[in-house]
Amino acid sequence: MPSTRRSRPALIAGVCVVAAGAALTAYAFADTGADAGIRPAKASGARHCHRIADAAPASLGGLPRRDSDLPGIAVWGDRDIVLRCGVTPPGPTGDPCFAVDGVDWVIDLAQSTSGRKVVVTYGRTPATQVVFDGAAKIDAALVDLSRIVAPIRPTSHCLAAE
């Protein structure tokens, strides 16, 4: 008859290995959603934010849009491009500003790095922030995004209106 002293520790060790594997698998799957780690902005429930998120294109900068359940959020690729509507509008700033199809955008230098660019609409409430990670095609994406942000009437400009 086999000894229960040897099989009980082996059984307990096996159960621990299976439980740890299940926990790691659950954690890995929980963090793979399009909006994992993304927080909605304070004013993400605004009417314009719902419209912007709903109107966001199916592909952007050559990347497919991924489903997000968060209000005012749109995600493309593996979070290569993340749009957050409802962020606090920037005030007067020394950060670089540029216009795309009549929409002023500011590069948020405090949040940008060499591999990550963060831009925010200027003079529109609610403001929209877009984060580009890696080699996402910023210029083409901003043309498409400016079209869906443009219906928010500007109250100020960071560039002189022409």
Give 30's pLDDT tier (boundaries 50, 70, 90): very low
Which region among 10-19, 41-50, 63-72, 152-161 has the lowest average model confidence (pLDDT)? Answer: 10-19
**Residue 21: domain span:** 1-32
Give 16's pLDDT tier (boundaries 50, 70, 90): very low
Do 16 and 66 fall into the same domain? no
pLDDT at 139 over 80: yes
pLDDT at 112 over 50: yes
By the 8 A CB rule, do 86 and 68 touch?
Answer: no
Do 65 and 120 fall into the same domain? yes
Spatial CA neighbour of 152 closest among 95, 88, 106, 102: 102
pLDDT at 98: 96
Q: Is residue 23 part of a domain?
A: yes
Radius of gyration of the chain (CA): 22
Record the pTM: 0.77
pLDDT at 75 over 90: yes
More confident residue, 112 or 38: 112
Spatial CA neighbour of 136 closest among 86, 54, 76: 76
Do 20 and 84 fall into the same domain? no
Asked whether the bond before 126 is cis by omega within 30 degrees of 0, the reply is yes
Q: Is residue 126 part of a domain?
A: yes
Q: Is residue 84 part of a domain?
A: yes
pLDDT at 28 over 50: no
Total domains, the chain:
2
Spatial CA neighbour of 108 closest among 156, 122, 160: 122
Q: Is residue 160 part of a domain?
A: no
Q: Is residue 39 part of a domain?
A: no
Phi, psi angle pair for 148, to nearest 5°: -85, -20
Do 13 and 55 fall into the same domain? no
pLDDT at 160: 65
Do 107 and 84 fall into the same domain? yes
Do 56 and 89 fall into the same domain? yes
Q: Is residue 40 part of a domain?
A: no
6-44: string of b/e by CB count within 10 Å (b at 16+)?
eeeeeeeeeeeeeeeeeeeeeeeeeeebbbeebebbebb
Do 127 and 60 fall into the same domain? yes
pLDDT at 74 over 80: yes
Gap between the Cα atoms of 120 and 107, Å rounded: 7
CA–CA–CA angle 118, 162, 108 (5° rounding): 10
Spatial CA neighbour of 60 closest among 120, 139, 5: 139
Q: Is residue 161 part of a domain?
A: no
Q: Please write the tens of the pLDDT for every residue from 140-155.
A: 899 999 999 999 999 9
Do 22 and 64 fall into the same domain? no
Do 3 and 78 fall into the same domain? no
Do 64 and 7 fall into the same domain? no
pLDDT at 15 over 50: no
Do 138 and 115 fall into the same domain? yes
pLDDT at 114: 92
Do 99 and 140 fall into the same domain? yes
Q: Is residue 156 part of a domain?
A: no
**Could you tell me the end-to-end alpha-carbon distance of the chain, in angstroms, rounded to an integer?**
93
